[in-house]
Amino acid sequence: MRDCPICQHSQGVKTVERFAGGEFFECSSCGLHYANTETGNLTQYYREIWSEGHLGQRPYEEKMRAALEPARLEGLLREIPRYSWAVSQFRRLSRGASVLDVGCGEGGLLWAARKLGLEPHGCDLSPGAVDLARRLVGDDAVYLGTILDLPCEAQKFDCIVALEVLEHLPEVRPFVERMTWLLKPGGILLLTTPNRNRVFAVAKRALGRPHSNTDYPPHHFTRWSTAVLGGLLGEYYQDVRVGSLRYYFHHAVGRVLSYPIHAATFGRMGQSLCARAGRPRIAR
């Protein structure tokens, strides 16, 4: 049985969902939902997801196409809430600030950062994604590998951003600690991750259905709430704000409806959580 990746607690866990190959536990200490399962070969998995086949994951197909068409990329950066949120946060940085995008994928956000006069750096473990990102921002700006093996000195970046990365990792703490170590004392961390209390997931669970198609290993290993994410980041940062982002729909009607849906839940049951953390406690 796996221990909780946040607090190593393994006593009193509650099974919240069973799936083929394992189950999701709720940690009775910190509240994280995490998969009790084998990890498998994740490098191979992400190599395949960022390829022609993209394992049927439509967002990857959409972003691969956009990386080759700037007009389409502009549209995604404007329409996908996590992208537009990150860009709005970038606008608060000083010109020339260095930004690291962890799991940068096709490099759309790096491209946006450079257009804002920031210094973009990215890393991704998929060669296909790195090729696309290098076409957008240059070979030297994008590292093939994970943040854990990124060759870099401490306190290097003004801003580190990781959109929808946390939930993909079987181990959470080494990732947060590495980001904190790489961040300047006055730097900020920007994270998004799926909200397990998003309105449609809650509705599906209430109907006894799986709450999503993607929240299972090997794609996602953890499920987060505002309180759990805020609790973890609060251990490392003095200023932490966690909110939620409205749904992203592919269809134009859905995109219009996403605003009233978000307002109806007081902005709390959006598709993804978004967190801004600053003033690192101690660089670890």
**Residues forming the site for Zn ion (CB under 5 A):** 4, 6-7, 9, 27, 29-30, 32
The nearest distance, CB 235 to Zn ion, in angstroms, is 12
Please say which residue, 26 or 101, places its beta carbon nearer to Zn ion: 26
Give least dist CB 227 to Zn ion, A: 12
Q: Which is nearer to Zn ion, 11 or 88 (CB)?
A: 11
Q: Shortest gap between Cβ of 171 and Zn ion (angstroms)?
A: 13
Distance of closest approach, residue 168 Cβ to Zn ion, in angstroms: 18
Which residue type, as a one-letter code, is found at position 133? A
Q: Residue 11: how many CB atoms within 10 A of its CB?
A: 9
Q: Which residue's CB is nearer to Zn ion, number 29 or number 225?
A: 29
User: What minimum distance in Å lies between the beta carbon of 132 and Zn ion?
Assistant: 36
> Would you list the DSSP string of 170-186?
S--HHHHHHHHHHEEEE
Closer residue to Zn ion in complex, CB, 3/74: 3
In the bound state with Zn ion, the residue whose beta carbon lies nearer, of 59 and 170, is 170
Terminal C-alpha separation, the chain: 28
**Burial (CB count within 10 angstroms: exposed 0-12, middle 13-18, buried 19+), residue 140:** exposed
Vertex 122: Cα angle to 52 and 155 (nearest 5) = 160
Burial class (CB in 10 A: 0-12, 13-18, 19+), 187: buried
Q: Pick between residue 30 and residue 150 the one whose CB is nearest to Zn ion.
A: 30
In whole angstroms, the minimum distance from the beta carbon of 166 to Zn ion comes to 14
- At 10, phi and psi to the nearest 5? -135, 5
The answer to whether the Cα torsion of 209, 213, 215, 219 is positive or negative is positive
CB-based contact 122:101 (threshold 8 Å): yes
Which residue's CB is nearer to Zn ion, number 13 or number 240? 13
**Least distance (Å) from Zn ion to the CB of residue 173?**
11
Long-range contacts at 260-266 (CB < 8 A, ≥ 24 apart): 261/199, 265/199
Q: Which is nearer to Zn ion, 4 or 229 (CB)?
A: 4
CA dist 9 and 69 (Å) reads 47
CB-neighbour burial class of residue 173 (10 A; exposed 0-12, middle 13-18, buried 19+): middle
Which of 115-128 are b and which e, b meaning 16 or more Cβ less than 10 Å from the residue's Cβ?
eeebbbbbbbbbeb
**Minimum distance from residue 198 beta carbon to Zn ion (Å):** 21
